[in-house]
Structure 1
Amino acid sequence: MEIDIESIESQSVDVEVEEIDGSSLNNETQGDQLQRRKRKLTSKVWSHFVHLLLGPDKKLKAKYKHCSSAYLADSKYETETTLGRISFTSYAWSSLASDGYVCLIAHFIDNNWNLQKKVLNFSFMPPLHSGVVLSEKLYDFLSDWGIENKVFSVTLDNAFANGVYVDMLREQLVAKGVLVHNGDLFHMRCCAHILNLVVQEGLKQIDDSIVKIRDSVNYVKGSQVRKQKFLDCVKLVAIGDKKGLCQDVPTRWNSTYLMLESTLYYRRVFQHLELSDSNYKHCPSTAEWDKVEKIKTFLKLFYDATLKFYETKYPTANLYFPSIWHCCFMLKQYSEGDDEYLKCMAIAMWGKFQKYWSQFHLTLAITCVLDPHFKLGLVEFSYKKLYGDDCFECITMRSTLYSIFEEYNKNNKDSTSQKTNIFEYFMTEKEGSDDVDVIFKEFDEMSSVESSTASQKSKLDLYLDEPRLARNAELDILSFWKSNQFRYPALASMACDILAVPVSTVASEATFSVGGRVLNSFRSSLKPKTIEALVCTKDWLYGDKDFNEELEDLTQDIFNFSLKDDEPFSQVSSSPER
């Protein structure tokens, strides 16, 4: 009988080991005794290991029971300690073998105020993928890790099952009383998917000029002879040929934008090709070229905004409100413009945008307020531009902001400022003193009232009253709140939680590109636990760094590992990859 490494439970849940305190190591030369902290081992994987005594190198090690190999067991790769709450992204995917998987990724700010992203689970998901099943699965993940009480938000795409799933999970967490503001900020819709849906809504009625552009590109790419004629025209009009000619995919609007951008660059070339090639019948007219230029400019707004979401380790959430609002504002402008085609596009897109904007703008607005570049100024300016003065949306946002702050203020025991009245401290009138003029008593009373009024301001009011930074001033917002966490403790805790909210599931989808590399046609028969071990281990050890050959060697070692019961620990047979 062989012991297969795939049978090992690879899911590590709050792996806790005996740990050497770093301060004692620094004093080792002075002969101080090593201080060790005993911690409960909660991961199932430890049933396959035996702890070893400290050796001369003073490093904690554990031996694998099924062979003689010893591994480091210190906390170098232990999950980072979170400073506040944790936000999540989740995404479902199918492998080449038609197996379903669900990924759970945690986003949080650690004790050093660095934004972190960790893959917690990459688990096999048997059918059916209903909202009820997904809710139970994700809650089990949170419970296994022991972080169900630290949840802040979850970011999902717009799949129908996700609506049921997030509602059930919210009810479950609200019942436990663990969500901020009764779960109003719990569900964050993927902004990248929303922008995609909005633009596709506008492109449902394709203009004839876009059809001609598409036919022109297809004509040039139709044969090698046509490509050569096109290159000859490029040389004749004396423009560079380094820019590629993009062919679009009708179902992907960003490829349509790139096609328009590239063909506009070669506009004179296509016009020359029409004169030199009698078979080319698709060249747009001058008026159509001008219309294509307007459409390209219109789509560029959304293309640039979408690019911000396609970062594996994207920036903090405060950077997205200006871009999303700008798209929203320009849609309104185009819907009231004179160009009929763009007006029809904008009206259709505005309706789709409004459907989702009301469901996520609040979270983005609050993150913007926590940015010292903008505070309430940009948010109020934005809402007034969209909805007019004294709009309901602005009032609701301000009310929610103060309500959430009071909740954090209560939890942090950081009530309104209670500084000692400096006037009262230094100018207390001595009993029985006849030296103080009567006229100064009125001044003392006035000063006392002014100081009392100032002390009633909350830390949020004090933060908002401070001058804003210049809009283009360089600032690391996490460093800002790290340096102000003792000055504004409740606000800093609030910033720590909200700024870590992912506004897109793109990070989850990037994980699945790694999954695709593991689950290729040669390895599609791997057991689900092995797949999870490979994906999670890569993320925990390497993060976003390049690993390539080192991980491939590690993977091959796992595949080649096989051990029979009657073999001694020192002999490990190497079997071919199965």
Structure 2
Amino acid sequence: MVKAMRDADLPSLPCMAHTLQLAVADGVLSQRSIADIIAYGRRIVGHFKHSQLAYSRLQNIQKQLGQPIKRLQQDVPTRWNSTVNMLQSLMEQKRALGAYGADYDLPSMFTGSQWKLVENMISLLAPFEELTHQISSSTASAADVIPSIRALTRLLEKAAETDHGVKTSKAALLEAVQNRFSDIQSKRLYTIATVLDPRYKDRYFSDALKPQIRGLLSDVLATGQEQQNGEASLEATGSEPPEKVPRAGSLNAMYAELLDEDGEHGGGDISSSTSSQMNLYLSEPVIPRSGQPLVFWRDNKSRFPALAQAAQDYLCAPCTSVDSERLFSTAGNIVDEKRNKLSAKNAEMLIFLKKNLPLMLNKYALREMALLISIPLLSFSLTHDFHAMHFKCM
């Protein structure tokens, strides 16, 4: 796929989630002490996965200790966050596993120092898991890459109480992240998308780079100046997905710290020239990270018409291939062994509805409809419409 983009002379960006996977594998999972702990954890989980009797005994112990009945999670080697989930499930069942090991045989067991290392490693990788969830959203764009990596590297550079036993891994992880994402600020698409995102603007760039970035943005606006005279409407985006508020944590604190260090929030006069639009836009404070960039540009396109047009072009690029891979899974769920006679056209229509119908439906309108119509009648109507559509597509 990369070669096809290169041969077609089209700009291409790597998947940020896959690059993070490689960075974690290089920096942490390759460490001998960490690799040994992961191997022990896989043997412990495998012991219960392959024995229903062992799981029954563990559940009885969980009941006796007053803990919720939970199953241990098996990791997938190609997904580092599944390894973190496996270690978290082991950590939650530490007491139950200790009681089980006292009465029954286990293929391996952590020592006290290894349990502490597991806890510290989970704390070390928690920001990576949080960031992976954020960039895997369908609304994440190329604008999220530079601020996220700056916040992540800032966090890894800070000393923490949980660094005991993982300092070498933390340093190796920082080096891996810096190497894997060393050229992001030199890529035009990343830079312009970040500046055009009202949550970030130029606040995550060094003072030495800001004049160069403003010049680059001026070139983009000058190139698209002819298009600004036409109708550059952002209303085609329709209803925006629900606002996703990131979980509170130390990674978010790094975003705020970088914004506080910038401290460049002034005012300005509105002017029709692209240069004045850019200066006014960059002088205003950024919107909260929980805000929606496309909603901002829809509401402010009359103030910044040139910037709004450029935002349409640059904020549509995703930063990961996660959503397209989810679309492949959707296709596999629609066309299966029991429904393999669907034509390509009908299958495409069903996939389109599955992915886009939630964005087009107004949840508040549906809620008002539910108040006016009885629930049984509404259920019957929806079921009847679904079967009619299903029969027509078949």
- The TM-score with structure 2 as length reference comes to 0.69
- In the other structure, the counterpart of 1:155 is none
Quick check: which one's helix share is greater?
2
Alignment-mate amino acid for residue 194 of structure 1: T
Alpha-carbon shift at residue 537 of structure 1 (Å): 1.3
Indicate yes or no: 2:282 matched with 1:464.
yes
Q: Deviations over 1:480-532 (max 9, x none)?
A: 222322221111111122222222222222221222124323555x5xxx643
Alignment-mate amino acid for residue 148 of structure 2: S
Alignment-mate amino acid for residue 224 of structure 1: Q
Alignment of 1:296-335 (within 5 A): 296-311=122-137, 313-315=138-140, 318-319=143-144, 321-331=146-156
Alignment-mate amino acid for residue 263 of structure 1: L
Q: Deviations over 1:304-355 (max 9, x none)?
A: 11112434x4356545554343234345558xx7734414641563355235
- In the other structure, the counterpart of 1:294 is 120
Contact 1:538 1:551 in 2 (8 A): no
- In the other structure, the counterpart of 1:142 is none
Indicate yes or no: 2:300 matched with 1:484.
yes
- 2:281 and 2:217 mapped to 1: Cα distance? 13
Contact 1:191 1:504 in 2 (8 A): yes
Contact 1:248 1:259 in 2 (8 A): yes
- 1:211 and 1:275 mapped to 2: Cα distance? 21
Bigger Cα Rg? 1
- In the other structure, the counterpart of 1:89 is none
Q: Deviations over 1:372-429 (max 9, x none)?
A: 343222x12xxx4xxxx63xx6565443223222323454369xxxxxxxxxxxxxxx
The sequence identity of aligned pairs, in percent, is: 25
- The TM-score with structure 1 as length reference comes to 0.49
- In the other structure, the counterpart of 1:189 is 14
- 2:383 and 2:83 mapped to 1: Cα distance? 33
Indicate yes or no: 2:12 matched with 1:164.
no
Alignment of 1:127-276 (within 5 A): 162-170=1-9, 186-202=11-27, 203-205=29-31, 206-241=34-69, 243-276=70-103
Contact 2:37 2:114 in 1 (8 A): yes
| Structure 2, unaligned runs of 5 or more | 231-268, 359-381
Alignment-mate amino acid for residue 169 of structure 1: A
Alignment-mate amino acid for residue 168 of structure 1: D
Indicate yes or no: 2:347 matched with 1:535.
yes
Quick check: which one's strand share is greater?
1
Alignment of 1:4-403 (within 5 A): 162-170=1-9, 186-202=11-27, 203-205=29-31, 206-241=34-69, 243-277=70-104, 279-280=105-106, 282-311=108-137, 313-315=138-140, 318-319=143-144, 321-331=146-156, 339-343=166-170, 345-346=172-173, 349-350=176-177, 352-354=179-181, 357=184, 362-377=188-203, 379-380=204-205, 384=206, 390=208, 396-403=212-219
**C-alpha spacing 1:356/1:232, structure 2 compared with 1 (3 Å):** farther
**C-alpha spacing 1:298/1:399, structure 2 compared with 1 (3 Å):** farther
Alignment-mate amino acid for residue 368 of structure 1: T
**C-alpha spacing 1:490/1:550, structure 2 compared with 1 (3 Å):** same
- 1:358 and 1:551 mapped to 2: Cα distance? 48
- 1:480 and 1:351 mapped to 2: Cα distance? 32
| Structure 1, unaligned runs of 5 or more | 1-161, 172-185, 415-450, 560-578
**C-alpha spacing 1:550/1:263, structure 2 compared with 1 (3 Å):** farther
Alignment-mate amino acid for residue 290 of structure 1: K
- Three-state SS of the structure 2 residue aligned to 1:462 is helix
Contact 2:2 2:12 in 1 (8 A): no
Contact 1:233 1:272 in 2 (8 A): yes
Indicate yes or no: 2:320 matched with 1:495.
no
- 1:407 and 1:248 mapped to 2: Cα distance? 49
- Three-state SS of the structure 2 residue aligned to 1:314 is coil
- 1:404 and 1:340 mapped to 2: Cα distance? 43
Alignment-mate amino acid for residue 101 of structure 2: E
- 2:42 and 2:390 mapped to 1: Cα distance? 44
Contact 2:16 2:145 in 1 (8 A): no
Q: Deviations over 1:125-169 (max 9, x none)?
A: xxxxxxxxxxxxxxxxxxxxxxxxxxxxxxxxxxxxx23211222
- 1:219 and 1:297 mapped to 2: Cα distance? 26
Q: How many equivalent residue pairs?
A: 325
Contact 2:331 2:351 in 1 (8 A): no
